[in-house]
């Protein structure tokens, strides 16, 4: 059993440089996230949001220390990290296989078709799948080429309802969805968080996605420059308010 007083994520003196010019993208970042928190990350393009996610998932190396449940990621391999963190990117990874196999992809245990159907219902894609001639046995092209962007995202989101990860990272994961569908999925994700103490980090260009966050971190030039809840930030002069008003993207 994990100790409650240990942050599920702890970042200490993190610096990350990127590109040929050795540009500093994350600048001496220190951060602790408690188990079960719903954290939003916002900021203009190039502020370091996605770079932070790459460092957390060990897709990029950085200077400083990152701990998951008190364990340094330096002592964890990618498979270890994948067991702790589920990442849903803007462009999800799909394999050339059936919808059923894609939804259950990455699990190391068997799940029933009923469980897959329930996950797809929560991801708001069950009606589409049921309309197909082969339903859940419909074969998806490599990379999801025979699906729309929103359908690809919803299949990737269905995976998380099966997996129930300790840490869920949503990186613009609902960017291709309409507002109504996004709201339905957001409610299901928030219920998953409460029922399973899932820690969520959500990067969102559509700021309304972050409305129910416990805390929102606003990045600029690799630093956290604002912090607070959604309604506090939209009423406080600064980058978040400018993004909310469409002044800054």
**pLDDT score recorded for residue 1:** 44
**pLDDT score recorded for residue 21:** 62
Q: CB within 8 A of 224, min separation 6: which ones? A: 29, 31, 217, 218
Q: Could you tell me whether strands 167-171 and 199-203 are parallel, antiparallel, or unpaired per DSSP bridges?
A: parallel
**pLDDT score recorded for residue 79:** 87
Element containing residue 83 per DSSP (H, E): helix 78-84
Contact 57, 87 (CB under 8 A): yes
pLDDT in tens, 205-224: 789 889 999 999 999 989 99
Contact 218, 227 (CB under 8 A): yes
Q: Which CATH architecture has domain 37-47+78-244?
A: 3-Layer(aba) Sandwich (3.40)
Tell me the average confidence (pLDDT) per consecutive run of 10 residues in the chain, 249 residues long.
Answer: 76 86 86 95 88 91 94 92 90 93 90 96 96 96 90 94 93 87 90 93 89 95 94 96 87
HSE of 167, CA atoms in CB hemisphere, 13 A: 24
Q: What is the pTM for the complete model shown?
A: 0.91
Q: Give the start-to-end residue ranges of the domains of the chain.
A: 37-47+78-244
**pLDDT score recorded for residue 20:** 58
């Amino acid at each position: 059993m994990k100790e409650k007083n240990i942050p599920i994520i702890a970042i200490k003196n993190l610096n990350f440089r990127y590109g040929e010019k050795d540009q500093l993208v994350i600048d001496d970042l220190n951060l602790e996230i408690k188990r079960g928190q719903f954290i939003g990350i916002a900021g203009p393009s190039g502020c370091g949001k996605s770079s932070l996610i790459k460092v957390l998932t060990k897709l990029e190396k950085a200077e400083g220390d990152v701990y998951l449940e008190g364990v340094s990621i330096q002592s964890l391999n990618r498979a270890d990290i994948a067991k702790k963190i589920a990442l849903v990117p803007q462009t999800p990874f799909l394999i050339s296989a059936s919808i059923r196999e894609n939804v259950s992809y990455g699990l190391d245990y068997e799940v029933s078709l009923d469980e897959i159907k329930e996950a797809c219902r929560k991801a708001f894609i069950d009606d589409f799948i049921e309309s197909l001639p082969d339903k859940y046995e419909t074969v998806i092209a490599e990379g999801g080429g025979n699906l729309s962007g929103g359908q690809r995202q919803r299949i990737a989101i269905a995976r998380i309802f099966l997996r129930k990860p300790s840490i869920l990272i949503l990186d613009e994961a609902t960017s291709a969805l309409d507002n109504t569908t996004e709201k339905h999925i957001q409610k299901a994700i928030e219920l998953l968080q409460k029922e399973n103490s899932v820690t969520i980090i959500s990067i969102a260009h559509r700021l309304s996605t972050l409305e129910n966050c416990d805390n929102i971190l606003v990045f600029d030039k690799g630093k956290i420059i604002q912090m607070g809840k959604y309604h506090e930030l939209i009423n406080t002069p600064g980058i978040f308010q400018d993004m909310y008003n469409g002044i800054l993207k």
